[in-house]
């Protein structure tokens, strides 16, 4: 990639036009919305609510299925940066079916959505599933395979090590934190699904800690995601050990797509000012153990 700042899965990754626009706005790579074997409408609404420090979502994996998605990837590729397809399934067979059915520059295995029955974190919280699914997909495709991990476990490093044993080329940390909001007038859970995933600034310290722990234990690259909205946030997650950074919820902020340029330009001015390379910045905080 020409720079380490990518569009995270799930935000604006449903259409080729928005993938392409993220690329043209300065993203070094883009990740699609997760796609599976069959079309899904997702959970009933409300599916997103703004809360203090971020967003709570329970979209419920809405997607048109891989059968109807190649064109979006192809349009996204016109942006001139790698397009990584985020994919999900209920087990190794479904993951392989989707991966073999799509042509992308890489795959990100969603083993971490916090609120979808039979998918995501329901299977991805067990290290044996992470290892088996990673290995099976790796054996079926020739492009890089990343595994997106859930922070909603006691031991995210155990999951990262399982992905590494399965042959992953990298892990992506973190998906959203399982969370809930209740309307105080009615007492009703706000999200249609009741529970959802928290993203945005509130989860950044959790992401920093997960990346730090993973980068200390793994030999494969860790891609950091969670509450990154400025070049300072990007620098912080790289100092924790991230080899790349993904930006999601911040795309809904005032800057919109311009956030990619402000992060990449801010980061390179910072590196110039410090007389450092990205490589030298990576994992800097781990020296202070």
Which positions lie near ligand RRO, rule CB under 6 A? 10, 34, 57-61, 110, 112-113, 120, 175-176, 197
Active site residue 113: yes
**For residue 256, how many other CB atoms are within 10 A of its CB?**
13
| Cis peptide bond upstream of 79, omega within 30 | no
d(CA 273, CA 207): 26
Q: Using the 8-state DSSP alphabet, how is residue 179 labeled?
A: E
d(CA 122, CA 113): 8
Residue, CB closest to ligand RRO:
197
Where does residue 282 rank: exposed (0-12), middle (13-18), buried (19+ CB within 10 A)? buried
If the CB atoms of residues 48 and 278 are measured against ligand RRO, the closer one turns out to be: 48
Select from 237, 180, 189 the least CA-distant residue to 212.
237
For the record, the structure tokens of 21 come out as 């626009």
If the CB atoms of residues 110 and 230 are measured against ligand RRO, the closer one turns out to be: 110
Q: Yes or no: say if 246 and 225 are a contact pair by the CB < 8 Å rule.
A: yes
In angstroms, give the least distance from the CB of 123 to ligand RRO. Answer: 13
In angstroms, give the least distance from the CB of 75 to ligand RRO. Answer: 21
If the CB atoms of residues 111 and 239 are measured against ligand RRO, the closer one turns out to be: 111
If the CB atoms of residues 18 and 176 are measured against ligand RRO, the closer one turns out to be: 176
Alpha helices of the chain — where are they, by DSSP H?
A: 16-24, 70-77, 92-101, 121-124, 127-140, 156-165, 204-217, 231-239, 259-274, 278-281
In angstroms, give the least distance from the CB of 41 to ligand RRO. Answer: 11
d(CA 272, CA 264): 12
In angstroms, give the least distance from the CB of 248 to ligand RRO. Answer: 9
If the CB atoms of residues 4 and 60 are measured against ligand RRO, the closer one turns out to be: 60
The four Cα atoms 178, 184, 186, 191 give a dihedral, to 10 degrees, of -20
Which residue is catalytic, options 113, 125, 128, 210? Answer: 113
In angstroms, give the least distance from the CB of 26 to ligand RRO. Answer: 24
- Give the residue numbers marked as catalytic: 113
């Amino acid at each position: 990639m020409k720079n380490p700042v990518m569009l995270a899965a799930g935000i604006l990754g449903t259409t080729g036009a928005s993938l392409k626009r993220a690329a043209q706005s300065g993203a070094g790579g883009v990740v699609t919305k997760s796609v599976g074997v069959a079309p899904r409408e997702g959970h009933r609404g409300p599916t997103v609510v703004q809360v203090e420090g971020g967003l709570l979502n329970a979209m419920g994996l809405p997607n048109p299925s891989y059968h109807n998605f190649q064109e979006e990837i192809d349009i996204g590729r016109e942006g001139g940066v790698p397009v990584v397809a985020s994919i999900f399934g209920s087990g190794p067979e479904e993951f392989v079916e989707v991966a073999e059915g799509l042509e992308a520059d890489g795959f990100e295995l969603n083993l971490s959505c916090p609120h979808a029955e039979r998918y995501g974190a329901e299977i991805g919280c067990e290290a044996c599933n992470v290892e088996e699914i990673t290995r099976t997909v790796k054996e079926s495709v020739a492009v890089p395979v990343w595994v997106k991990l859930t922070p909603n476990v006691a031991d995210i490093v155990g999951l990262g090590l399982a992905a590494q044993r399965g042959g992953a080329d990298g892990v992506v940390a973190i998906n959203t934190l399982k969370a809930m909001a209740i309307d105080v007038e009615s007492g009703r859970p706000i999200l249609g699904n009741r529970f959802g995933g928290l993203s945005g600034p509130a989860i950044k310290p959790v992401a920093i800690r997960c990346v730090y722990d993973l980068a200390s234990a793994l030999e494969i690259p860790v891609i950091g995601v969670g509450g990154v909205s400025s070049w300072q946030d990007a620098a912080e997650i790289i100092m924790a050990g991230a080899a790349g950074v993904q930006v999601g919820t911040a795309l809904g902020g005032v800057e919109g797509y311009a956030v990619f340029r402000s992060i990449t330009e801010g980061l390179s001015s910072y590196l110039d000012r410090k007389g450092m390379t990205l490589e030298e910045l990576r994992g800097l905080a781990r020296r202070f153990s």
